[in-house]
């Protein structure tokens, strides 16, 4: 548990370390992660802290990251050389543990997995991964369906949708993809196919309307974010353009005990944002 004073200290140190657009994005991710955690029954404090600090090592140059990754991570040489944009996630546990020794393994793991994810994801890992993509400052054209699905589908399904959107974005932008990402993708496809209904289930209709009202359509919509900061100019980085949104309260909703007969299942999300929803 990180108390308010320590969180404030972390916030200030992050602000001093990264550029303003990165800081704004980090605040957005922290608040989005906290909201997602509340909805999906994950530890909110861990989510807020992991979201805040997830890009801690984005302050480093690729040269510094390569050196750090070589010494303190198992990232393969080819990835260090060719996909340095992902290294900050892998070096972060080492860097952050030195700065904030009280950070738990769970928080550090969620931070480590926020960029490339993994075949097995803890709930906190998924919350931080999703928050990084759907925080209000994100301006991708295809995040709207993800935001709308918050509280409507299970955490696993929302993660699957988000991971898929990330893969599509990387391909469409002609970016190299971490080789382990294909292993992760295949694992999640298999897991999803094996799940009941083929889509990880979903939250009940009642929970869905409450939760999406509070989070999906208010806190996590781009419209809710105050004015934009300058885009991040770091090589390979995407633009995070919003200042921190105001926190809003939302009801608790448990996505784990869905009645499949009432469940709305998002079957597919297309790059243009169109999606197919089936009511089962
Ligand atoms: N699986 C992946 N393989 C290769 N590159 C990736 C992968 N996932 C994300 N990236 C790229 O790594 C960089 C950092 O990712 P991330 O930390 O999610 O970015 P952001 O700076 O947008 O928060 C981005 O340029 C992103 O496109």
Domains of the chain: 4-279 (1.10.3210.10)
What separation in Å is there between the alpha carbon of 276 and the centre of ligand 1?
27
pLDDT score at 196: 80
Mean pLDDT score, 195-216: 57
Contacts of residue 218, Cβ cutoff 8 Å, sequence gap at least 6:
224, 248
5-19, 52-66, 206-220, 259-273: least confidently modelled range: 259-273
Neighbours of 175 (CB within 10 A): 11
Looking at ligand 1, which residue's alpha carbon is closest to its atom 22? 238
**Check: complex ipTM more than 0.90:** yes
Best residue among 53, 86, 90 to mutate for probing ligand 1, ranked by most atoms within 8 Å of CB: 86
Contacts of residue 11, Cβ cutoff 8 Å, sequence gap at least 6:
27, 52
For residue 14, CA distances in Å to 4, 57, 133, 220, 226 come to 15, 10, 19, 22, 20
- Ligand 1 atom having least distance to the Cα of 238: 22
Rounded-to-integer distance, Cα 23 and Cα 55, Å: 9
Quickly tell me which residue has 């931080």 as its tokens: 128
pLDDT score at 180: 96
What separation in Å is there between the alpha carbon of 85 and the centre of ligand 1?
6
Question: Crossing angle of helices 123-134/155-172, nearest 10°?
Answer: 50
What separation in Å is there between the alpha carbon of 279 and the centre of ligand 1?
33
Confidence of residue 265 (pLDDT cuts 50, 70, 90): low
Mean pLDDT score, 241-246: 30
Looking at ligand 1, which residue's alpha carbon is closest to its atom 15? 115
Looking at ligand 1, which residue's alpha carbon is closest to its atom 27? 170
Say if residue 144's pLDDT is above 70.
yes
Average pLDDT, the chain: 80
237 or 3, which is more confident: 3
Q: Which residues line ligand 1 (CB under 6 A)?
A: 83, 85-86, 89, 115-116, 132, 166, 170, 175-178, 181, 236-238
pLDDT score at 199: 80
What separation in Å is there between the alpha carbon of 128 and the centre of ligand 1?
14
What separation in Å is there between the alpha carbon of 16 and the centre of ligand 1?
23
Mean pLDDT score, 162-180: 95
């Amino acid at each position: 548990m990180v108390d308010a004073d320590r969180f404030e200290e972390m916030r200030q140190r992050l602000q001093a370390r990264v550029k303003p657009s990165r800081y704004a994005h980090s605040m957005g991710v922290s608040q989005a992660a906290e909201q997602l955690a509340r909805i999906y029954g994950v530890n909110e404090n861990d989510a807020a802290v992991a979201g805040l600090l997830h890009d801690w090592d984005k302050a480093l140059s690729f040269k510094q990251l390569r050196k750090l990754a070589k010494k303190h991570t198992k990232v393969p040489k080819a990835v260090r050389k060719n996909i340095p944009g992902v290294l900050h996630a892998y070096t972060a546990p080492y860097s952050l543990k030195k700065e904030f020794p009280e950070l738990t393994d769970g928080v550090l793991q969620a931070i480590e997995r926020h960029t490339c994810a993994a075949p097995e994801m803890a709930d906190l890992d998924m919350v931080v991964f999703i928050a990084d993509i759907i925080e209000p400052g994100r301006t991708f054209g295809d995040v709207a369906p993800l935001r709308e699905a918050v509280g409507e589908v299970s955490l696993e399904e929302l993660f699957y949708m988000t991971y898929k959107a990330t893969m599509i974005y990387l391909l469409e932008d002609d970016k190299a993809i971490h080789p382990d990402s294909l292993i992760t993708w295949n694992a999640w496809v298999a897991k999803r196919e094996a799940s009941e209904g083929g889509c990880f289930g979903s939250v009940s209709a009642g929970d869905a309307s409450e939760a999406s009202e509070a989070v999906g359509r208010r806190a996590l919509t781009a419209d809710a974010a105050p004015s934009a900061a300058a885009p991040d100019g770091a090589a390979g980085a995407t633009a995070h353009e919003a200042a921190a949104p105001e926190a809003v309260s939302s009801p608790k909703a448990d996505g784990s005990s869905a009645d499949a007969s009432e469940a709305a299942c998002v079957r597919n999300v297309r790059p243009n944002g169109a999606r197919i929803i089936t009511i089962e």
